[in-house]
Amino acid sequence: MEEGEEVLGSRLTMEKVAAAKQFIENHYRAQMKNIQERKERRWVLERKLASSDVPKEEQISLIKDLERKETEFMRLKRHKICVDDFELLTIIGRGAFGEVQLCREKKSGNIYAMKKLKKTEMLKRGQVEHVRAERNLLAEVASHCIVKLYYSFQDAEYLYLIMEYLPGGDMMTLLMREDTLTENVARFYIAQSVLAIESIHKHNYIHRDIKPDNLLLDKNGHMKLSDFGEPMDIDGCFPDTDNKSSWKSPREQLQHWQMNRRKLAFSTVGTPDYIAPEVLLKKGYGMECDWWSLGAIMYEMLVGYPPFYADDPITTCRKIVHWRNHVKFPEDSRLSPEAKDLIYRLLCDVEHRLGTGGAHQIKAHPWFRDIVWDRLYEMEAAFKPEVRGELDTQNFMKFDESDPPAAARTGSGPLRKALLTPKDLSFVGYTYKNFDAVKGLREFKRSLSEKQPSTDSIFSDSGPDDTTKQTAEETDTHMFSSSGSV
């Protein structure tokens, strides 16, 4: 063996050792967590029943139902989920690293959105940590403001996230259809965005790339935060000089944005229009960068195009960095003084930006004076999307369904382990299964709610349609199990 091959072999061996160590630690941590969560679910149910008027016989029946669900969940956890468990339907999103597709789980018939990410592209562009953070965020943050994650798994070429399907489309599509929103409609969605951002900040996550494409609407028009795309690669932006191009008239600016926004929706380039200056400059940033993005989105909702829009991404980056020269409103804009003030206080330097001290600073702004924050997801939404069933995709962009032929599958079992590469080692611990994914769990929760009209669902304490607080993870074992499944 030559010296170079020996070094490479040694490095791969060390990476496998590190992966094995991580697997063992994750496995036992998950085992303890699963036992504790199962006890908590039982305890919560018994506590709810003890304070209710449910007859003793029905209480026993409900406890047996929970035990049955727990058994089903244990069976689900043992099953090695793969892409073959789903019937792939319509493509509803496409990005640089993969695509999002409507799918049906073959066993249960449930409809989901499947996000598929190509491993080699993420490694090449240094996005491993970003995709890990997204998976962890969706798995850990239990909030009705965040899209729900049911499963995550992987194969030799791709990572997969199986999420709830929100048929109302995204804010980008709504804005392209409506041009601008009234202040009342914008206030509703900006307020729901505040709650969504607050919920991830409470778990010490920074989104960094909030944009209309990532604000999804459910069938009733309520908004949930997701990340169906990927953060833009900002290395190609050189914001070192100010922009000298002339400012177009508001009408020209709006027309140019509408035309190019449609092109960007189908491209893998993306747009930097919502990225905070401190992120572009790479001089260190914190959670407050998400509030800048919210300010840019609010501006677009009310004016019709983002505040720093230009003909090309580099000029946009320069405008953002030199924001003091470019945060302005068209002369014919009819925004209320409170709306302008809020935008000014979000699109500013970090030291003076609202939200730097917490979401409560934004909630207290006069523009939100009539918002009842703790009932926002219970009231009728400001916009009701047209949805004709669970498979309806009319509120999403249309994509070419043609797909390049799939690469030959890497072997499983001993052969799979023999072919293990650093690409696989980068994604150890990606597998996840949510207790809420158990078939029939929603019916169980609904029946419990009907029996106890005065109490909330036992599995949620954060509002309607909230994701299950008690979830469980299963660490990837494809390197250590004889099945070779991932």
115 is in an annotated binding site: yes
Neighbour count for residue 12 (Cβ, 10 Å): 14
Nearest CA-CA partner of 386 in 219, 268, 160: 219
Nearest CA-CA partner of 165 in 86, 232, 268: 86
For residue 154, the surrounding DSSP H or E stretch is strand 149-154
For residue 324, the surrounding DSSP H or E stretch is none
In 3-state terms, what secondary structure has residue 112?
strand
3-50 and 56-78 are packed helices; what angle lies between their axes, rounded to 10 degrees? 170
Neighbour count for residue 54 (Cβ, 10 Å): 18
The C-alpha angle 162, 165, 166, rounded to 5 degrees, equals 145
Neighbour count for residue 100 (Cβ, 10 Å): 24
For residue 123, which amino acid is it? L
CA distances from 470 to 76, 165, 444 (A): 15, 21, 16
Burial category of 5 from C-beta neighbours within 10 Å (exposed 0-12, middle 13-18, buried 19 and up)? exposed
- What CA–CA distance (Å, rounded) separates 341 from 327? 12
Cite the active site residues. 209
DSSP designation for 170: B
User: Binding-site residues, please?
Assistant: 115
User: Binding-site residues for ATP, please?
Assistant: 115
